[in-house]
Amino acid sequence: MKRTAISLFVCVAIGGWASTVSAAGKKKKAPAAAVTTKTDSGQTDVAPASAPASSPSDNATPAPADSGDSGSSSGAGSESVEADSDKPERVDDAAATTSGGPPKTAATVAADASAAWKDILVVPRKPFLKDKRFEFAPFTGISVNNILIQHYTFGVDLNFFLTDVFSVGLQGEYFIKSLTEREQLVGLQYNRIPTLNRYIYGGALNFGYVPVYGKFALFNSKIISWEIFASAGFGITRTEIIARNPASATFGTNALTPNVALGGRIFLRDWITFNWSFRDYIIVDKFENANRPADQTAAQAKANATSALAHNVMFMVGVGLYLPTSFQYKQPR
């Protein structure tokens, strides 16, 4: 009984396999769709639309190309081939396509370019020109290098810019003295009175040069322009001695005063700047003689005065007002 069942199962399996192989063979050998081609003689040739590649042993002759006005028609189960002569050619621009993607239209390329430029911040050109303009610059300052006497100054600079970096100008200022607490302590602690001079006013002819110019972003929202300038000149400073004996006569001197400065400007508008500087006045001054008699006159005291070189270093701040108040860029042709 078992042998009969096994034999029956084997027969059924073989039969099923044979039917599957037969069906696959028929499907593979199914005829391809036919394409009808109309020739000049009026006859119609029927050929398979898709035929397997022929081997070198096959006697296959290609059909001649139809140079006339002929069309391709198809019946049931056939395909129609027609020249697409009315469709305009599309030229793919290499810059308008992406790697592996379809070509982009002109509108798409323009939109992409506009989006790309949004990430680029253009630094504007220099917003302030000083060439052939006058600067009227009031300032105030304080001396920083003398611990016994301080001077406050109020003055003005009048500069003319020959170019955007070179300038020539006049300076005038008035000084106010102030004795420090240290000056009083010297007399009390050491039983000595220091020899001091006070400055009254001064004037100078100065020459300026701008070696450095730059910009910085204020809170990442506004660009501020600035520059560093150097200045040097010479002038006169009116000085006067502070007599050690209050009853003694005093005398004054018009002291030759070279000066050097280093400072900067911050441009606020087209016609105004904020200025700061350190300026050293190198004063060739005369001081009261340490052995001066109490009854000596001012002329005698000046004749017997001691000459010395003094540095009066001032820190100054102020504003610069420019005339004319506007300017124009001159582009080279």
Nearest by Cα to 133 from 332, 320, 331: 320
The 3-state DSSP composition of the chain as helix, strand, coil percent (nearest 5) reads 15, 45, 40
Structure tokens at 319: 């504003």
Domain-embedded: residue 290: yes
Structure tokens at 211: 């070696």
pLDDT at residue 102, as a whole number? 64
Domain-embedded: residue 51: no
Burial of 253 (0-12, 13-18, 19+ CB in 10 A): buried
Structure tokens at 26: 């028929």
Domain-embedded: residue 21: no
Rounded Cα–Cα distance for residues 237 and 172 (Å): 10
pLDDT at residue 167, as a whole number? 97
Type of residue at 195? T
Domain-embedded: residue 49: no
Lowest mean pLDDT among 91-95, 211-215, 249-253, 282-286: 91-95
pLDDT at residue 88, as a whole number? 46
pLDDT at residue 81, as a whole number? 40
Q: In whole numbers, what is the pLDDT of the chain averaged over residues?
A: 78
Whether cis (ω within 30° of 0) applies to the bond prior to 88 is no
The H or E element containing residue 273 is strand 272-287
Rounded Cα–Cα distance for residues 226 and 274 (Å): 9
pLDDT at residue 60, as a whole number? 45
Return the higher-pLDDT residue of 123 and 105.
105
Domain-embedded: residue 24: no
The CATH number given to whatever domain includes residue 150 is 2.40.160.20
Structure tokens at 201: 């006013």
Mean pLDDT of 61-72: 44
* 3-state SS assignment for residue 224: strand
Rounded Cα–Cα distance for residues 158 and 149 (Å): 28
Range of the domain at 225: 136-323
Kindly indicate the confidence band of residue 12, based on its pLDDT and cuts at 50, 70 and 90: low
Total-model pTM: 0.62
The H or E element containing residue 232 is strand 222-242
Instruction: Spell 176-207 as b/e; 16+ CB within 10 A means b.
Output: ebeeeeebeeeeeeeeeeebbbbbeebebebe
Most confident of 40-49, 216-225, 228-237, 297-306: 228-237
Number of domains in the chain: 1
Structure tokens at 105: 């239209």
Rg of the chain over Cα atoms, rounded to whole angstroms, equals 51
CB of 236 closer than 8 Å to CB of 203: yes
Lowest mean pLDDT among 31-45, 184-198, 237-251, 280-294: 31-45
Rounded Cα–Cα distance for residues 232 and 45 (Å): 105
Domain-embedded: residue 26: no
